[in-house]
A and B are shown apart, each in its own frame.
Chain A
Amino acid sequence: MLGNISHSSRQGRFVPRFRCKSGLRAILLVFALLFLRAEKITAQANAANPSAAQPTHEVVDEVNRTVRVPLVPMRIVSLAPNLTETVYALGLQDRLVGDTDYCDYPPEAQKKPKVGGAINPNLEQIAALRPDLVLVTKDLNRLDTVRALDTLGIPSYSTDAAHTIDGIISSTEKLADILGAAQAGKVVGDDLHHRLATLQEKLRSVPATHVLFVVWTEPLISAGRNTFIADALRKAGAISIVDSTQDWPQMSLEEVVHLQPDYLVFAAAHAAEGTRDFEALVNRPGWHLLDAVRNRHYAVISDAVNRPAPRIISAIEDLARQLHPASFQDSRSPEKEIVPTNSTSPAHHPRAALFTPDSFGGACLTESACAL
């Protein structure tokens, strides 16, 4: 190191600064030029955008942004699994041109072109799909993503974070409206409301079961009172022992033992997975202090309960059935056949998407599945 310095001082003071800087400046200038040109091009590109020819209208989305969207969006990209599910539930999957890596339900959704994760989607990939509407949710996506889409001139519609089951249903209907399928939205919404009402009728006389909803086992995380999961539990004739204002509170075992839930509730893609989670908890020190663990009082329901999409009603019905079997014994409700009319793809049956029993170990997930 010292050698170098003596070299340079022996060298005397040449002044290379300006020459070198001008070289750098020239490079920067070239890039700046490219940059400016790029801006001009985009302006032209946006002007020549074919979607401009489509009739559009201004709508206010659930986070109170006023956005200009096509009357009937034909190339939809969904950036959240619950929105993908909702699009399928409405029977609009033919207009869905892309979704995220996490969009795994219904299984066909996995075959759609992927644009990366929900939190860091690939903008290039989105732009390449030439969407006329991108669906995002405040629950999952980043504000930065929405801003980036705005900059690129790609319209986006955002749903708000869901807090209640009714909110999920009305959000579904609103989304159907935006997608130009208000009729399908009404059919799906009415069906969900009807099923919830039927369920409430059955559960009217039973006291609510105290449950611990396990979001994550290590560390133990449950759902707070303002989440739609807490509302789903209430709708299923259960009440969470956790009364936290935090959405995803980390629980200490002490507190759980003190609150003594009647049941532990697990959400899993496969019933066996939930059982495995339960066994893992049982074998951990201290957990035998829970009556629910000693009596093996636990319920495993579909992980649909974790997604604010129409399918959550099936998970609610399933949980109610497991927690209050007596209420379901005699009554086998006659299934009301509702076939929604669908303007875009009449061949499709929205119910199929709603009620397809997933890989859930043959468990009877829904009323309709049982009735069949």
Chain B
Amino acid sequence: MKPKVVWLQGVTCNGNSHSFVNLSGLDTLLQRYEWLYHPILPSSLSLMQLWDAKCDILVIEGGAKKGWQKGEGELEKLFLHLAQKAKKVVAVGSCAVYGGVFKEFDDTICGVLFDGENKSRYYDMLADKTINIPGCPAHPEWIAFALEAENPSLDSFHRPKELYAYTVHSGCVRNEYFEWKIDAEDFGTKEGCLFYKQGCQGPFTHGSCNKILWNETASKTRVGTPCFGCTEPDFPKQDLFSTKTYMGIPATMPLGVPKRAYLTITGIAKSFHIPRLTKRLLDED
């Protein structure tokens, strides 16, 4: 018997559904499950039929909100009805995990286990069986991992450590510039680190964007876009394209690094001039 999956949407933009469609070898994964409901992919039931459905894995995309209409019923009721039956709940995307971007408009929107950084009203009921896959959107490989993995090791936000123990900075192709504290003077170049001026949150954001590449090809920082910290409960912060600084250095430190250690290293790194890192990369002889 194939496990039965329901993919239910709350307050969402549908970005995770579409991200999932990008999975390499999607058809092979789809065949391992019986898809009762998915908003885009082939699935057998309609929303109203879900009330009587057996559901083994419940995937939630989008935030929960009281009174939000889902089909002819109410989202929260349908969600709890299915979640109680399910053996596993996968919260996909930052809206389902923390409430997400739309929480800024309506603070009553919350995630499955978390309401921003705090535990949600469903925490006690669902903590045992819920895996959180934050990201805006979540990467399709991360979603596939959550469907397939049995009892993965989780961090305090119920995120699989295998995916979120890394920072977005790990594997970034601009790492050399970070090591020698050379900033990107502007957008639109291959050179320089985006942590110092352009607002990159990669060094303190949990995620494997530069390890498991997006669309199997790139990541934000690889195309010169700063990381906006979309896997964290405080996404989206303010002034996303500029770095807040404190006494000339970024106000938020790389994950786990004491400010004193960082200052010392910066002082030393900056005292050297590395010609290779101050030229255009492809102009190098």
Q: Do A and B come from one complex?
A: no
Which positions in A face B, CB cutoff 8 Å? Answer: none
